[in-house]
Amino acid sequence: MTEAKRITHFINGAYWSQPAQRTGDVYNPALGQVTAKVDFATVEVVDHAVEVASKAQQEWRNASLAKRTQVLFAFREILNSRKEEIAKLITAEHGKVLSDALGEVTRGLEVVEFACGIPHLLKGSYSEGASTSIDVYSIRQPLGVCAIISPFNFPAMVPMWFFPIAIAAGNSVVIKPSEKDPSAVNLIAEFWKAAGLPDGVFNVIHGDKVAVDRLLEHPGVSSISFVGSTPIAKYIYENGTKNGKRVQALGGAKNHMLVLPDADLDLAADAAVNAGFGSAGERCMAISALVAVEPIADALIAKISERMSGLKTGDGTAGSDMGPLVTAVHRDKVASYVDAGVREGAKLVVDGRNPKVNGAAEGFWLGPTLFDQVTPEMSIYQEEIFGPVLSVIRVNSYEEGLALINRHQYGNGTAIFTNDGGAARKFQNEVQVGMVGINVPIPVPTAYYSFGGWKNSLFGDTHAHGTEGVHFFTRGKVVTSRWLDPSHGGINLGFPQNR
Ligand code: NAD
């Protein structure tokens, strides 16, 4: 039995020294053992973090763009040279395989690199002589203290969708990572300090609803960036905006992959397996509903099943393809969906409920699972399962498949597989989903575009990173200026007009 370590808050450039009143268990899901206890912040701890962040932001907002960029570049170098350390922490607490964990850090790094260009991104515009002797120009300024509340499934990448841009723009950050895998963000806080970020600009508080609720109501918090399940995203959006905060709240997903009869079925089968079972299906961009346009369903299912028989489930450090689920509770919930699918009449093609694994017997295992003959009213189709369960829905036409996708409550990501450029173009135009892949199963936009879904997959107007991220973390201001010249003056009570 490994001895449990303590994971605590990082506020004002240092770890919190006082004991916690409440803590949570952090597991190594491949071992099924508690490996750490994470402190849960009280209202007082949250208040202290916000106060510190607010004070630090007053100076940081006035640091020159040159100075802020230097810190960002230094952070980028440290993160890049030590990304394996973060990946190991992620594998130990989340369970995803090491290469996948490294992949998520690398995608987060892209946002840091994007934020290194902040001087260009913050450039305003200038109109000389908008009226006689009057110039008009626009600037963008930071918001203040930005709160980030992140989910368990990407303990490093999702926080990095937000904080590099928030900090580059001159804000300070209070982040509450998922209590299930909290270590990665603490190491990131150490990297910021080593990069020369002033103490108090990046603060980590750990905890649960108590900490989140305090962030939602704290008058010192300007914005909330949330990623997690849809009911909580809705709650965050409603309560954050009610309290006058700017909120972006990204929720759950059910991502469809539409395979047309002319598609390359080998490519489609590879993509379905990679996107369905990578990270044990615990990805917001995982493919969980495969919509096969007849007559190809039988052939496609045969190719997918064949590939699934070669997948190795096991400890993420041991060369497996797929790791465990994050907790025993979550594993049991996903397994209960498999039971429900059988009960509701779907055909279980591959059953992952008793998997052969390369890992400890106590690990939170569930093998890759494939259903055929899934129909739209079944719970395994309606709801987000967030595990290694792929459902095949058979349809008879492109139109039927499109209508199915557009009717679904979620609209995060989707993909079409076809060799017909015209059909793909029609799909990108007609599908009501925020991120679309054409022969690409996990279309996560690159950092200089913005990430976000439609419908119940996102509450708020602004997607993450890219130009929308820069807008979210800044407020626009327009200045109309006249420097006195002797020809001006006099009284005129009329509304100012440009002359
Ligand atoms: P979750 O909603 O349980 O938790 C997310 C965060 O909210 C955590 O920090 C958690 O501590 C906090 N939280 C949980 N319950 C709360 C409550 N009652 N009140 C206030 N705060 C609360 O989500 P999760 O299980 O950590 O993550 C998986 C979910 O996140 C999935 O639904 C997945 O689709 C979604 N997700 C979406 C995206 C996206 O881009 N749309 C990306 C990643 C994950």
Domain boundaries, the chain: 5-251+457-479, 255-438
CA of 151 to the centre of ligand 1 (A): 4
Residue 172 has pLDDT above 90, yes or no: yes
Separation of alpha carbons 124 and 419, rounded Å: 43
pLDDT of residue 6: 97
237 token code pair = 């959006």
In tens, the pLDDT along 348-372 reads: 999 999 999 999 999 999 999 999 9
If one counts every other C-beta atom within 10 angstroms of the C-beta of residue 25, the result is 14
Nearest CA to ligand 1 atom 21: 209
- Using a 6 Å cutoff on CB, does residue 176 contact ligand 1? yes
What whole-number percentage of the chain has pLDDT above 90? 96
pLDDT of residue 299: 98
pLDDT of residue 488: 64
- What is the per-residue burial (b if ≥16 Cβ within 10 Å, else e) of 192-202? bbebebbebbb
For residue 22, give the 3-state DSSP assignment.
Answer: strand
> Is there a common fold for 5-251+457-479 and 255-438?
no
Residue 486 has pLDDT above 80, yes or no: no
Residue 117 has pLDDT above 70, yes or no: yes
Q: Which atom of ligand 1 is nearest to the CA of 233?
A: 2
Give the torsion sign (CA, 69, 71, 72, 73).
positive
443 token code pair = 């279309």
Residue 489 has pLDDT above 80, yes or no: no
Beta bridge partners of 476: 140
Residue 239 has pLDDT above 80, yes or no: yes
CA of 326 to the centre of ligand 1 (A): 13
Give the chain's mean pLDDT. 97
CATH architecture of the domain with residue range 255-438: 3-Layer(aba) Sandwich (3.40)
Separation of alpha carbons 345 and 99, rounded Å: 37
Beta bridge partners of 127: 136
Residue 176 has pLDDT above 90, yes or no: yes
pLDDT of residue 53: 99
Nearest CA to ligand 1 atom 22: 209
475 token code pair = 């407020």
Was domain 5-251+457-479 assigned CATH 3.40.605.10? yes
Mutate to test the pocket of ligand 1, among 27, 149, 232 (most ligand atoms within 8 A of CB): 232
CA of 177 to the centre of ligand 1 (A): 10
Separation of alpha carbons 455 and 448, rounded Å: 23
In tens, the pLDDT along 425-477 reads: 999 999 999 999 999 999 999 999 999 999 999 999 999 999 999 999 999 99
pTM reported for the whole predicted model = 0.97
Residue 327 has pLDDT above 60, yes or no: yes
Q: Tell me the Ramachandran region of residue 287: left when phi exceeds 0, alpha when psi lies from -120 to 50, beta otherwise.
A: beta
User: Contact, 118 vs 292, CB < 8 A?
Assistant: no
Determine the average pLDDT of the residues in 318-322.
94
Q: What is the DSSP string of 214-247?
A: HHHH-TTEEEEEEES-HHHHHHHHHHHHHTT-EE
What whole-number percentage of the chain has pLDDT above 70? 99
Residue 2 has pLDDT above 90, yes or no: no
154 token code pair = 């990407």
For residue 116, give the 3-state DSSP assignment.
Answer: coil
Mutate to test the pocket of ligand 1, among 46, 160, 212 (most ligand atoms within 8 A of CB): 212
Confidence band of 3 (pLDDT split at 50, 70, 90): low
Query: Contacts from 185-192 at CB under 8 Å and sequence distance 24+?
Result: 185/150, 185/155, 185/156, 185/159, 186/7, 186/10, 186/15, 187/82, 187/85, 187/86, 187/89, 188/79, 188/86, 188/156, 188/159, 188/160, 189/10, 190/10, 191/75, 191/78, 191/79, 191/82, 192/75, 192/167
Residue 260 has pLDDT above 70, yes or no: yes
Determine the average pLDDT of the residues in 203-221.
98
- Among candidate residues 146, 227, 247, 284, the one labeled active-site is 284
Task: Enumerate helices (H) and strands (E) in the chain, giving the number of each.
Answer: 16, 25
Nearest CA to ligand 1 atom 30: 228
- Using a 6 Å cutoff on CB, does residue 179 contact ligand 1? yes
Q: Which atom of ligand 1 is nearest to the CA of 458?
A: 41
Residue 487 has pLDDT above 90, yes or no: no
Q: Edge to edge, what strands does the sheet with 246-250 contain?
A: 14-15, 10-11, 202-204, 172-176, 145-149, 221-227, 246-250, 458-459
- Using a 6 Å cutoff on CB, does residue 251 contact ligand 1? yes
Separation of alpha carbons 435 and 277, rounded Å: 19
Q: Which atom of ligand 1 is nearest to the CA of 180?
A: 26
User: Contact, 292 vs 395, CB < 8 A?
Assistant: yes
pLDDT of residue 499: 81
**Terminal C-alpha separation, the chain:** 79
Known active-site residue 284: yes
